[in-house]
């Protein structure tokens, strides 16, 4: 298992709608995440839209992202979510996750 932290930035004017979408994630998207080893997955957001994500993946993060890239539910979700994010280079949110280095962990 690998613990992963990452950053993304939601546009401030889109935060309420972004949160609303996350209160109603489709069952097929949730199933796809589980099928591809995503567990204990949480998103935390500051008022300015800077978001910290935490996930535990069964293999490694790259493999979990690669698995999701083949899921129809994820393709639909990423297309829906793309306009919500500040992405200097453009692209889907799952292609712009800034993975953070874990520097401490307490069990």
pLDDT, one tens digit per residue, over 27-39 is 999 999 999 999 9
Per the document, the length of the chain is: 107
Tell me which of 3.30.70.100, 3.30.830.10, 3.40.190.10, 3.20.20.70 is the CATH number of domain 2-100.
Answer: 3.30.70.100
Q: In whole angstroms, what is the distance from residue 100 CA to residue 83 CA? A: 23
Helix (H) or strand (E) holding 30: helix 27-35
Give the three-class secondary structure for 38: strand
Q: What is the pLDDT of residue 95?
A: 83
80's tokens: 């829906």
pLDDT, one tens digit per residue, over 21-68 is 999 999 999 999 999 999 999 999 999 999 999 999 998 999 999 999
């Amino acid at each position: 298992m690998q613990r992963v932290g990452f950053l993304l930035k939601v546009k401030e004017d889109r935060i309420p709608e972004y949160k609303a979408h996350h209160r109603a994630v489709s069952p097929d998207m949730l199933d796809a995440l589980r099928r591809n080893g995503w567990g204990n997955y949480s998103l935390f957001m500051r008022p300015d839209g800077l978001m910290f994500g935490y996930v535990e993946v069964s293999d490694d993060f790259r493999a979990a992202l690669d698995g999701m890239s083949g899921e129809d539910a994820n393709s639909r979700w990423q297309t829906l979510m793309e306009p919500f994010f500040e992405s200097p280079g453009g692209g889907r949110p799952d292609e712009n996750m800034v993975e953070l280095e874990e520097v401490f962990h307490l069990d």
